[in-house]
Amino acid sequence: MIIDTRYRGGVEIWEWSSAGAVRLTTVPYAPSFYLHLPDPALHRELLESLEAEYGAEEFTFRTIFGECDGYRVPAGREIAEAIERQTRYTARLYNVDVRLDQQCLAGLGQVPCCGPGESRFSLDFPIPFRTMTVEVEGNPFGREAFRALTVVHERREQLGGPGRTALADLAGLLASCDPDVVLFPSSDLWLPRLLSSARKEGIVLPFSRSGRYRKMAQKSYWSYGRTEFRAGSLIPDGRILVDTVQSFHYRESGLSGIILGARLTGLPPNLTARFTSGTLISAYEVYEALRQDIAIPFRKSDAERVRKFDELKAADRGGMMFQPVPGLYDRVYEIDFTSLYPSIIVACNLSPETLSFPERHGFLPEVLTPLLSLRKESKARKATDPAYTGIDAILKWMLVTCFGYTGYKNAKFGQIEMHEKITEHAREILIRTKEIAEDLGFSVLHGIVDCLFVQGGPAALMKERVEQETGLSTTLDTYDWIVFLPMPDGFGAYNRYYGRLSTGDLKVRGIAARRGDTPAFVREVQERMLATLMGAKDREELAALADRVGEQYRDAVAGLFRATPAEMAISRRISRLRYSRRCPEASAVAACTAAGIDIVPGMEVSYVVTDARTWAVDLDWSAVRFDAGYYRKILDKAWLEVVFALDQAKTGMS
């Protein structure tokens, strides 16, 4: 079973065996790419030079649009970019920027973390790797060294003593236990510091089985309307290292999700743990293309055509939503389409090459079909077995981003017109679902792109009719009661609601307990209130809880003044480094600079507001006080989200 890969002159493959041994094999593999010229006669000298120096040869290769006559050039990206410049960007190039280890594995029909005879499209797969957890006590941004190290393997060990002793003990445990997976909170921040400290002490920390590390540079990028940040990483050879704090996929999916991501994309798990969901779905599509011997375009050559404004306005309208009337509603059904957008791609045969030739069988529908089937299966299993929650999460995020990727400017297999077609179908589907519900006597309360909230019955008949007419899979949730919250202007909020499901669980969206920037103190208070509401099966029982929840609020107000500054930390992503007005984010940037922390856009900063009048803040690890009045306002906002349901319950009974 392959545990890691990388390219270093050849493709290095680290193989894990059932005996626990790890073996390194190097497969000779040289880069090459495909070249197509609209008029080869104009570039005769270039072609002769490529043939003489690199052994270029005429070659017919496949793209998603069909066969293409051109040349195979055994050279790397540098030469490809030189060809672009020399041909004034008229040359069309393929397979230039494909990862060579992924390309090699696709040619061999292999993927990481998948044993012989196993299907990569299976939800049940072993994770036989030895795992160790390393925890560092201290501030990774501070100037001082770590305070303590803790290692968890067969038992939990606190590595005490001076820094050198702890580092030596850590090196000894890594060598003796020889874990295949190291789970290391904030490893992207701590590992460079630990390695540096160990070198000064003459100690070798064997996180890497070869002693070498690949460097992944830090990066700020724009994604879904906000600036994100990926910390720089040191990636060891032959061992899986997961930053359990920084890795989105670990937080959402756990180790099983990362392993499944590697099996689907052909990327080593060290990369699936660090890449975004969009990068993973792109890598999955690339692997499938390589497996089918389809060439991967280097640059997009199907730019958006010029369109009239009225045509653009009609096409680019996004998803459909129905605004709710704020209030408390009894016995509500939510019908939700499973992975709506990728389902539309498959059902409607949408792919760049099918827009002009709809009779063709599209590449994207073909490669998304098994992924979509896997998601439907994982979602169904998750409902009865929580063990599948992580696996379902990574499939969900990959399929969610596959839609956005179709409109991405650098997408290998995307086109903006296709993106618009998908949303057009989605709008028609939600409108038709609304019409079906109303024809059956339901009242439509709310709708958000891929789901509809209704009152009435029978719900099973509605589900059957919707699936029959749309041809798409749905799930149906029943709420004993649900609350749609108001916006400041009094109209219903699209994305802020909570309600008790018939299973007894509480589904929560958009409120303080779900927001990432809510202080821990406030989040815990609201969670306690919601836990109390969860015991109510109807509005009468909700109304009866008013006094108990009110007491919880009064206790929280009294406890606010006894809380610690750490409980008041607010975590937010910094979108820029300069601000035109006073705000806590601007003060947090200044505090980071004063502390010697290199802050870049997209980084998450945790701070405590010490004076809301001047927006003075302290970083969370150095705060010794907080502005109680400011945090009382945050607490009151969380309370209003809860008391709204109680007021509605009492009003409905009067």
Look at residue 38 in the predicted model and tell me its pLDDT.
94
**pLDDT tens digits along 617-642:** 999 989 999 999 999 999 999 999 99
pLDDT value, residue 15: 95
318 or 206, higher pLDDT: 206
Strand 156-159, strand 148-152: pairing: antiparallel
Task: Read off the pLDDT of each residue in 640-653 and give the average, rounded to a whole number.
Answer: 90
| Whole-number pLDDT of residue 311 | 66
Would the pLDDT of 222 be above 80? no
Describe the crossing of helices 100-108 and 277-291 by its angle, rounded to 10 degrees. Answer: 40
Rounded to the nearest integer, the mean pLDDT of the chain is 92
CB 242 within 8 A of CB 179: no
Q: Which pLDDT belongs to residue 139?
A: 81
Q: Pick the residue with more confidence: 184 or 603?
A: 184
Q: What is the pLDDT of residue 473?
A: 93
CA distance linking residue 440 with residue 424, whole number of Å: 25
State yes or no: pLDDT of 581 exceeds 70. Answer: yes
pLDDT at 554: 97
Q: What percent of the chain has pLDDT over 70?
A: 95
Q: 178 near 207, Cβ under 8 Å?
A: no
CA torsion sign for 250, 256, 259, 260 is negative
Contact yes or no for 557/573 (Cβ under 8 A): no
Residue with tokens 């601000």: 579
pLDDT attached to residue 315:
61
8 Å CB contact between 100 and 7: yes
**pLDDT on residue 317:** 66
Report the relative pairing of strands 226-230 and 181-183 from DSSP bridges. unpaired
Domains in the chain: ranges and CATH: 33-94 (no CATH), 321-367+409-510 (3.90.1600.10)
Residue for token pair 């593999």 = 29
Q: Is the pLDDT of residue 356 over 90?
A: no
pLDDT in tens, 144-186: 778 889 999 989 999 977 788 999 999 999 999 999 999 999 9
Phi, psi of 93 (to 5 degrees): -115, 150
DSSP state of 603: -
Question: How confident is the model over 207-218, as a mean pLDDT?
Answer: 92
pLDDT at 377 over 80: yes
First-residue to last-residue Cα distance in the chain: 67
Token couple for 317? 């309208």
- Span 253-270, average pLDDT: 97
List, as one string, the DSSP characters of 63-97. Answer: ETTEEEEEEEE---HHHHHHHHHHTTT--EEESSS
CA 592 to CA 388: how far, in whole Å?
A: 40
What confidence tens digit (pLDDT) does each residue in 53-100 have? 999 999 999 999 999 999 999 999 999 999 999 999 999 999 999 999
SS in 3 state form for 209-257? CCCCEEEECCEEEEECCEEEEECCEEEECCCEEECCCCCHHHHHHHHHH
Arithmetic mean of pLDDT, 585-611 = 90
Helix (H, G, I), strand (E, B) or coil at 330: strand
Residue 407: the pLDDT is: 61
Q: Residue 476 is inside which H or E element, if any?
A: strand 474-486
Are the CB atoms for 174 and 191 separated by under 8 Å?
Answer: no
Residues in Cβ contact with 314 at an 8 Å cutoff, skipping those fewer than 6 apart: none
pLDDT at 219 over 80: no
User: What's the whole-number mean pLDDT along residues 124-129?
Assistant: 93
Among 480, 530, 494, 551, which residue's Cα sits nearest to residue 641? Answer: 530
Distance CA 252, CA 393 (A): 6
Beta carbons of 565 and 628 less than 8 angstroms apart: no
Return the closest-CA partner of residue 201 out of 169, 232, 233, 157: 169
| pLDDT tens-digit series, residues 478-512 | 999 999 999 999 999 999 999 999 999 999 999 99
Task: Give the C-alpha separation, 191 to 434, whole Å.
Answer: 53
The neighbour count for residue 275, using CB atoms within 10 Å, is 20
